[in-house]
Structure 1
Amino acid sequence: MSGRTFESGAQKRKKRIKKELREKEILKSTPKLTGFFKPAANAEDGPSTGGRSLSHTPEGAEAEEAAQVDVAGEEQGTACRNGGEDEGGAHEPQREDRAANQLGGDESDDAYNSDPGRWGNNIDTKVRAYWARMGPESCQNKDADVSASERRYKQQRRFFSKMLFKRKLSNGECVSREWLCYSPSAGSVFCFACKIFGENKEKSAFVSGGYFDWKHANDRIAEHESCDIHRKAMIAYINQAADSGTVDSELKKQFSEECEYWTQVLQRVVTVVKFLAERGLAFRGDSHRFGDTDNGNYLGCMELISQFDPFLKAHIEKYGNAGRGTPSYLSLNVCEEFIQLMGQKVLEEVISRVKLAKYFAISVDSTPDNTHVDQLTFILRYVSPEGCIEERFVKFLPIESHTGEALFNSVISVLEEMGIDINNCRGQCYDNANNMSGAYKGVQARIKQISSLAQWVPCAAHTLDLVGVNTVNCCEETEQFFSFVQALFNFSSKTTSRWQLIRAGLQPNDNKRIDTLKSLSDTRWSAHAVATKALCQNYAGIQQSLLNIADDEHQNLSTREEARALHKKMNKLEIALMCNMWNAILQRFQGVSTALQAVELDLCNAVDQLREYVAGLRDQFDSFETAARNMSPIVSHEYKADTQRKKKRKRHADESSEPECELSGRKRFCTSVYIYIIDRLVSELDRRYQSYKEVCENFEFLNGLHLISPQDLRSAALSLQRKYNSDLEEDFVEEVVQFREFVQGENVSSSSAVELLKFLRRRKLHTVFPNTDIALRLFMTMPVTNASGERSFSKLGLVKNRLRSSMQQDRVSHLTLMSIEHDILRDLDFKDIIRTFSSKKTRRKHF
């Protein structure tokens, strides 16, 4: 016999019982067939089926089971208070939706969906943490379509009202029901807190299947939000939302406190860096420790602030001199990193403003610093959204070659680095050097090959200086006069005792200040104006002081002789007249030069500021002569030519015996010196300013719209449109004519192009007259001088002085940028800089 064994009867009975129990469990978890049929609208159609009308009536056990399911469904609806008290089948829609949700719940459950009808019952810790972070406002669906919430009550149709999202208190105030969420798929409302964070979820319709009895909605919702279960759920949500209910809440709280602590420390670091950089002050000292007197301005400012800031004082006492390995974030290394981050942010702000303006002009110039490195400065000119002209410093770039090609490559590389399109360049301004202004190989010519509309404008201030320099050297008398001015300063400033003796004879000016003698300068033409002004205002006093020194027996012989020689020159009428004349001319030059350095000066107004005045001086010789004789009582009233012995020339046999025409000293000085100087000035002005003629002819009509006739206006506008056809549309001609009529009707106080552009932007008319706005922006973008570049050199000398000569190039550019563009530095918010710094310095590794 084989080893085959058979189950006993008891084993077979146990196996059968287990099978039956397993089948019952499967049957319980399977949706009932009755759930697939829609209940009848009238409960009277099926008296034995609880109001349902079926195509086949169940028989036997199946009919009994279906009846039990219906009874259970009605009891569950009554327990959930979803219309159980309504008449005429108010609870039938509940059984319909409950059955549908029960059928499709396993397929459409999504606990992270914004529709609460799709959440299901699988609410775990991750889901609670997600919705605690998102909050109920992300799933309230206040703007959703409520058509799915339709319910019928006899002959009435009711929908969910969005007014239920608010609760009206007894005192008349309205409170938002943040916990109430509408489900567009189920057409019912849920309680956010009870669904996610509540307990005993099966007992409330606001949790299990959704509430939709709109006939009693106000009362049932009010009952729910006042029950203890709902309040406990809300407290649980609030606690978890505040992280006080999580396991790591204390760690998070500690982490938050640490972040806040170090953020406050870094905020003080940023403030000190901003203060020192704005003023161009030094940061570091010989010592790097708190408490030392030579620890530099950075640590010194920290110590000063700590005297009035208990937080910083406690921080310095704890971490200030802790040494390596203990971070204090007050070290000079941290300071250097913030200089770089803050300078980069200011540069990004400048670049964003240039890109917003679209049209820009460039101005570059170079100068050697105190380490004999040539620094090329970059200036960008553009029009702000408010219609104001702005010139911004960008950076310094060290250069090794001054050829036009090398400078051109430097300009292009900087623009490409900043992401600025050279095709939007409409102006370029440099000095008159050949490497910059050359018509073939200069920087301006090379840029025009790339951007043909980048109009080159010579620096008006440099041009004015060249006019003065060429005029000063035009005749011998002028050279002798300025040599005397320099010799007088050299004699007076050689010793302190002489300076005090000369200064004793000076008189205060209108501002009660004494204008002392000044030295001339080969590079700064304004020094001539200051020197002649000081001499002209104190001519008699200086003359008397020289005479006192010459007669002083306590002075050595060479000093007395030098003083007597200078005094003798000052007695001449020619010197007094030249002093008076050049003072008047140079003061006018100085005023025009100062006006030319203004950022908002347009080019057309800059050209005609001086010529008419200089030409008008031609007939004022008599007034200058009278003023010269009144400058001092001991000034001679005769010219040198009248007092000298006249030379007699031997006549030849073939010459006429008629006497030669001899001019008086006055006439000779007037014709050969005075008139010659004035004519030379006028001719130099005309020659030098010919380069501005093209620009003025294109844009000059924008400065006098009310003065030009409509016909001439159309002609000038058409010419400008043809030149800038890529910027101005064809209807610009008629648009500017209409703008002229509009301006006349508005009675604008000033018709200058600068004020018209501000008027357009202030009244938001640039969308009505877009081409006129573009034309004005193009005109205002044209640079007049590169004075901003000259000013950047002054700041460079302050930032990189002899005590800071080892400074790196990036640091030089950043500190100079923050010092020059201090208005942008003040307005910027550097909180993101602190976050960037923190992200770079974090040492925690994430796995």
Structure 2
Amino acid sequence: MLVWLTRKENKSVLDKQLQEQLNKETEYYHNVLKRVIAVLKFLSIRGLALRGSEEVFGSPHNGNFMGALELLAEFDPFIREHIEQRELRPNPVISYLSKTVYEEIIEIMGKQIIKQIITEINNDDTNFGENDDEKVDFRKEARNLFNKLAKLETAILIVFWEEILERFNVVNKKVQSPGLDIGEGNKLIVSLKEFVKNIWQQSDQKLKEYEEKAKKLSTSLGTDYSDINKRRITLKFSDKSTDKVSVNCAEKFKRDTLNVALDKMIMDLNNRSQAYETYSKKFKFLMDLQDKNQEHIDLESVRNIIDYYPNDVDEHLVNECIQLKSYLLQSKTESYTSCSEIFWLIYEKKLVDVFPNCYTILKIFLTMPITSCEAERSFSRMSYIENKYRTTMSNYRLNHLSVLSINCDLTKDLQCDDQIKEFAAQKCRKVAL
């Protein structure tokens, strides 16, 4: 290392010339990436698509990113020369204008925006609504919003919904995953309902846990409930007697807020479970097929299915189900606990000709959608970012593009040098000495 530093200071040796050449190349590609980042900021703020059907300069179908660079090249000799020397030659060389490069830069920009938002929230929570540069009305609204967010009840609800929605999220993803039948989906919904019921039954203990976790979220939170100083309500009864209500603030919050939300969730989950139960009863014989402890199947449900799907199955389905049940009971070494496993058993062992109606009804049952929910996002700009022309976009990329578009003011203020340094650090192939 000392030898390298010594030779570097000597301008007459070759190493000094190599260092100057390296600095020149670094500055050159730094200017290229500055223009790339400027184009990405322009397109992402407006929610425009980047890619086209072709990735060739000069093509009318090369997308907005390459099109913007072509427009910039008409007035910028530097980027025009860069495109001509590296992209339009017979054997293109590294130009840092490919989709791989700008996808990585989008990720870097998105992470920087998220980091900046988190930093501002952590640093400015006590000065919320006290910025003298803002209008008076804005400051009042901001201060009122902060007072609401600083309530203990709001923090408790954050902890409460984080626990509830975490379970709902994983169950919802599993229910929408391919290969899950209605029977298994119903089990997940029933288990989720029991989870919510358990919270309702232990609401006193749970509320204390929520209070402890809520008070640790921020030092700006209040330590007591907001209505602790409100006057007590006097109730008047039909016999003209009166009684003063002395309800604890925590008890009132549990009764009027938490229990109401839990009751609503239990009711909705129960309605959804009943809908699944209806289909499960209709296909009860399939549940009997996968149950090792059940020696017989419900022949009445088989006949009902034959009447319900007369164009798909015939009366031989009854005998096929009886034989298939006997076949599965003989498979002592293998366990078939789901309809999908029974379906693949028939397919892989080439038993479709033996059980054609069973095979058909299993296909019908397994292709029934458990839910029709879509992963919708509530942002108004999402209709521009994710449209019919961008249906193959991954959620990871979509999240970063959404952050850049929604927080357009922060995106405009991003310093390109920071993104270039981080991009260079990711692409560096040298070992740090």
**TM bucket by the smaller chain?**
0.5 to 0.7
The alpha-carbon distance between structure 1 residues 501 and 694, as it changes in their structure 2 partners (threshold 3 A), is closer
Say which of 172, 182, 187 aligns to 1:603. Answer: 182
Spell out, residue by residue over 1:529-556, the C-alpha distance to the aligned partner (whole angstroms, 9 max, x if none). xxxxxxxxxxxxx5x6444424977765
Distance 2:297 2:127 in 1: 68
Q: Aligned residue for 2:247?
A: 663
Q: Aligned residue for 1:796?
A: 388
Spell out, residue by residue over 1:34-57, the C-alpha distance to the aligned partner (whole angstroms, 9 max, x if none). xxxxxxxxxxxxxxxxxxxxxxxx
Q: Are the aligned partners of 2:159 and 2:213 in contact in 1 as well (CA < 8 Å)? A: no
Unaligned runs of 5+ in 1: 1-278, 309-496, 506-541, 801-847
Say which of 573, 584, 593 aligns to 2:152. Answer: 573
Q: Aligned residue for 1:759?
A: 345
Which residue identity lines up with residue 759 of structure 1 in the other structure? L
Q: Which has the higher strand share?
A: 1
Matched, 1:706 2:288: no
Aligned pairs for 1:173-252 (under 5 A) are none
Distance 1:557 1:294 in 2: 42
Which residue identity lines up with residue 213 of structure 2 in the other structure? N
The alpha-carbon distance between structure 1 residues 695 and 769, as it changes in their structure 2 partners (threshold 3 A), is same
Give 1:682 deviation, angstroms.
1.9
The alpha-carbon distance between structure 1 residues 750 and 500, as it changes in their structure 2 partners (threshold 3 A), is same
Q: Aligned residue for 1:618?
A: 200
Matched, 1:769 2:351: no
Return the TM-score normalized by structure 2: 0.54
Q: Between 576-585 and 704-713, report the one with greater CA deviation.
A: 704-713
Distance 2:285 2:329 in 1: 15
Q: Aligned residue for 2:91?
A: 307
Distance 2:201 2:316 in 1: 50
Give 1:674 deviation, angstroms.
1.4
Distance 2:376 2:228 in 1: 48
Aligned pairs for 1:44-83 (under 5 A) are none
Which residue identity lines up with residue 307 of structure 1 in the other structure? N
Q: Are the aligned partners of 2:346 and 2:352 in contact in 1 as well (CA < 8 Å)? A: yes
The alpha-carbon distance between structure 1 residues 499 and 769, as it changes in their structure 2 partners (threshold 3 A), is closer
Distance 1:305 1:612 in 2: 66
Q: Aligned residue for 1:281?
A: 52
Which residue identity lines up with residue 617 of structure 1 in the other structure? I
Distance 1:652 1:685 in 2: 37
Give 1:571 deviation, angstroms.
3.5
Say which of 304, 327, 342 aligns to 1:719. Answer: 304
Q: Aligned residue for 2:127?
A: 549
DSSP-derived class of the 1:659 partner: strand
Distance 2:210 2:141 in 1: 27
Spell out, residue by residue over 1:283-311, the C-alpha distance to the aligned partner (whole angstroms, 9 max, x if none). 3888459xx9849xxxx9xx789528xxx
Q: Aligned residue for 1:729?
A: 314
Distance 2:291 2:156 in 1: 44
Distance 1:790 1:652 in 2: 49
Give 1:779 deviation, angstroms.
0.9
Give 1:776 deviation, angstroms.
0.7
Give 1:502 deviation, angstroms.
5.1
The alpha-carbon distance between structure 1 residues 715 and 592, as it changes in their structure 2 partners (threshold 3 A), is same
Q: Are the aligned partners of 2:321 and 2:358 in contact in 1 as well (CA < 8 Å)? A: yes
Q: Are the aligned partners of 1:502 and 1:545 in contact in 2 as well (CA < 8 Å)? A: no
Q: Aligned residue for 2:420?
A: none
Spell out, residue by residue over 1:712-763, the C-alpha distance to the aligned partner (whole angstroms, 9 max, x if none). 4334333323433443333422322332232233333442111211121111
Q: Are the aligned partners of 1:615 and 1:682 in contact in 2 as well (CA < 8 Å)? A: yes
Q: Are the aligned partners of 1:576 and 1:631 in contact in 2 as well (CA < 8 Å)? A: yes
Which residue identity lines up with residue 780 of structure 1 in the other structure? L
Q: Aligned residue for 1:504?
A: 119
Say which of 164, 167, 189 aligns to 1:585. Answer: 164
The alpha-carbon distance between structure 1 residues 776 and 549, as it changes in their structure 2 partners (threshold 3 A), is same
Give 1:560 deviation, angstroms.
6.2
Higher relative contact order, structure no. (Cα contacts within 8 Å, ≥ 6 residues apart): 2
DSSP-derived class of the 2:227 partner: helix
Spell out, residue by residue over 1:393-444, the C-alpha distance to the aligned partner (whole angstroms, 9 max, x if none). xxxxxxxxxxxxxxxxxxxxxxxxxxxxxxxxxxxxxxxxxxxxxxxxxxxx
Give 1:576 deviation, angstroms.
1.5
Which residue identity lines up with residue 729 of structure 1 in the other structure? D
Aligned pairs for 1:47-446 (under 5 A) are 281-283=52-54, 287=58, 294=70, 307=91
The alpha-carbon distance between structure 1 residues 565 and 742, as it changes in their structure 2 partners (threshold 3 A), is same
Give 1:710 deviation, angstroms.
3.4
Which residue identity lines up with residue 315 of structure 2 in the other structure? E
Q: Aligned residue for 2:4?
A: none
Q: Are the aligned partners of 1:546 and 1:566 in contact in 2 as well (CA < 8 Å)? A: no
Unaligned runs of 5+ in 2: 1-49, 61-66, 72-83, 93-111, 378-382, 393-433
Q: Aligned residue for 2:267?
A: 683
DSSP-derived class of the 1:798 partner: coil
DSSP-derived class of the 2:179 partner: coil
Q: Are the aligned partners of 1:547 and 1:563 in contact in 2 as well (CA < 8 Å)? A: no
DSSP-derived class of the 2:320 partner: helix
DSSP-derived class of the 2:158 partner: helix
Give 1:561 deviation, angstroms.
5.4
Spell out, residue by residue over 1:191-217, the C-alpha distance to the aligned partner (whole angstroms, 9 max, x if none). xxxxxxxxxxxxxxxxxxxxxxxxxxx
Q: Are the aligned partners of 2:149 and 2:155 in contact in 1 as well (CA < 8 Å)? A: yes
Distance 2:365 2:324 in 1: 17
Distance 1:557 1:653 in 2: 53
Which residue identity lines up with residue 127 of structure 2 in the other structure? I
DSSP-derived class of the 2:214 partner: coil
Distance 1:678 1:728 in 2: 43
Distance 1:304 1:764 in 2: 56
Give 1:598 deviation, angstroms.
1.8
Q: How many residues align?
A: 288
Return the TM-score normalized by structure 1: 0.29
Spell out, residue by residue over 1:769-826, the C-alpha distance to the aligned partner (whole angstroms, 9 max, x if none). 22221221121232334568989x94614279xxxxxxxxxxxxxxxxxxxxxxxxxx
Q: Between 720-729 and 560-569, report the one with greater CA deviation.
A: 560-569
Q: Aligned residue for 2:211?
A: 628
Distance 1:732 1:653 in 2: 67
CA RMSD of aligned residues (A): 4.5
Identical counterparts, % of pairs: 22
Say which of 347, 365, 381 aligns to 1:779. Answer: 365
Q: Which has the higher helix share?
A: 2
Spell out, residue by residue over 1:425-465, the C-alpha distance to the aligned partner (whole angstroms, 9 max, x if none). xxxxxxxxxxxxxxxxxxxxxxxxxxxxxxxxxxxxxxxxx
Q: Aligned residue for 1:742?
A: 327
